[in-house]
Amino acid sequence: MSQNQVANSNIVALLATLIVRFISGPLCDRFGPRLVFIGLLLAGAIPTAMAGLVTNPNGLIALRFFVGILGATFVPCQVWTTGFFDKSIVGFANSLAGGLGNAGGGITYFVMPAVFDSLVHQQGLTPHKAWRVAYIVPFIIITAVALGMLFTCEDTPTGKWSERNKWMEQQHSEGAPVKHEIVDTKSGIRANDSSSPPSESSSVLEKKSPRPQDTIADQEAQTSEGDSAYAEVVVAPTTKETLRVIFSLATLSVATAYACSFGAELSIESILGSYYGKNFPHLGQTETGRWAAMFGLLNVVFRPIGGYVADLIYRSTKNVCGKKIWLTFLGVVMGAFQLAIGLTDPKSQSTMFGLSAGLAFFLEACNGANFALVPHVHPYANGIVSGIVGASGNLGGIIFAIIFRYNGVEYARVIWIIGVISMGLFIALSWVRPVPKGQNSR
């Protein structure tokens, strides 16, 4: 394959993920994130098993488009996690789940070659057949996980998605006070009550009948004097409300930030092995691939740190603005590291790998901090917001990948260009309110 064909296949895969992420957000609000998650896994498992049938570059490009469906599972994953955890700890929960997902890309660099080697040396297959047979392994794993989720997991902390409002109705019919294990709207402290089911989350409750748009907006800001708990309702999205949420300045702010951080991660990871190979040809293809894989593997630690620190700030300040300041700080320093790598184009391994590790920390922590903030933005439409933000990450990846494509092997130049774009946008977005005006900022 030519370099342009490789770049095109990367862009097509990102495009597929972008489209499906955008669609899966509203689907999560309507049908529940668990079923959407399972559906995407099964839909992506089929083309994965068919990878061995590819015989030419165009076939690979088409295949990568359909395999890209799997990348959209990030959205129902984040929506599902948000539904089970309180806002005071949801940043760490979301970033840990997302970090493990990102790390899967790095793990693949090690696992798939090992499977290939086993098929060649222990099973006696030719290399031509072995790489094709190897793709049956991820197909089996993905299918097994999807079936496991289908038969063993719950939609919400209280059971089925279709029955998530029954406990509320029962409490009202019995005249019992409705208390949930959610964030206190005045203090940000968890409000526990022995009458509520374990781990009850406010973000998974839906109103039985739709309300006017302005009433829903007012609902977000209401607090009841003497009552520390309030219900954040997830409403079935209408076209009008979906558009209002999408074009909200608060939504566009976190979406743009994710386009810079996760978009940069996607594009840089796709060329990092080649960049290392260009500057350090003595390492060879296998070694440069392993060093490049480390960038993704660091997500296991760095992305959760971003969400965890955001939660600490939130619990300390009792205000969402603290999370926004942390996100902006990470984004600006991330851009500074991109400038450092791009402008110096290190020829020393220690300098290159050190700067790459520093970039990985701030970039991946920025991703985690972003989805610590997302649950606060239009919580009644968390699926829509998560879908838009997740899709924007892939949009950023496509834009940056196109810049890489038209700059050939000038990897350093593109990295500093990305750095300038990221720093500029994060500074510009720092003045945007983290939550819409009129909505409770705690």
Is residue 344 domain-resident?
A: yes
pLDDT at 235: 57
Is residue 441 domain-resident?
A: no
pLDDT at 201: 39
Structural domain for 195, as ranges: 161-236
pLDDT at 135: 92
Which token pair is 130? Answer: 């072995």
pLDDT at 228: 32
Which token pair is 393? Answer: 């990450």
pLDDT beneath 70, residues of the chain: 163-237, 438-442
- Give the Cα separation of 245 and 386 in Å (integer): 11
C-alpha separations of 289 from 266, 274, 295 in Å: 15, 8, 10
pLDDT at 210: 43
Same domain, 225 and 132: no
Same domain, 207 and 81: no
Same domain, 201 and 258: no
Please state the separation of Cα 308 from the chain's center in Å: 16
Taking alpha carbons only, the member of 242, 327, 300, 275 closest to residue 107 is: 300
pLDDT at 101: 87
pLDDT at 190: 36
Same domain, 52 and 119: yes
- Give the Cα separation of 252 and 102 in Å (integer): 23
- Give the Cα separation of 376 and 382 in Å (integer): 8
3-state secondary structure 217-266: HHHHHCCCCCCCCCCCECCCCCHHHHHHHHCCHHHHHHHHHHHHHHHHHH
pLDDT at 174: 56
User: Around 262, how many Cα atoms within 13 Å sit in the side-chain half-sphere?
Assistant: 28
> Do residues 334 and 362 lie in contact, with contact meaning Cβ atoms separated by under 8 Å?
yes
- Give the Cα separation of 69 and 44 in Å (integer): 5
Domain boundary among 236, 263, 287: 236
Same domain, 176 and 70: no
The enclosing domain of 62 has a CATH number of 1.20.1250.20
- Give the Cα separation of 203 and 208 in Å (integer): 15
Which 3 state secondary structure label does DSSP give 190?
strand
Domain total of the chain: 2
Same domain, 335 and 210: no
Q: Is the pTM of this model over 0.85?
A: no
> Do residues 440 and 188 lie in contact, with contact meaning Cβ atoms separated by under 8 Å?
no
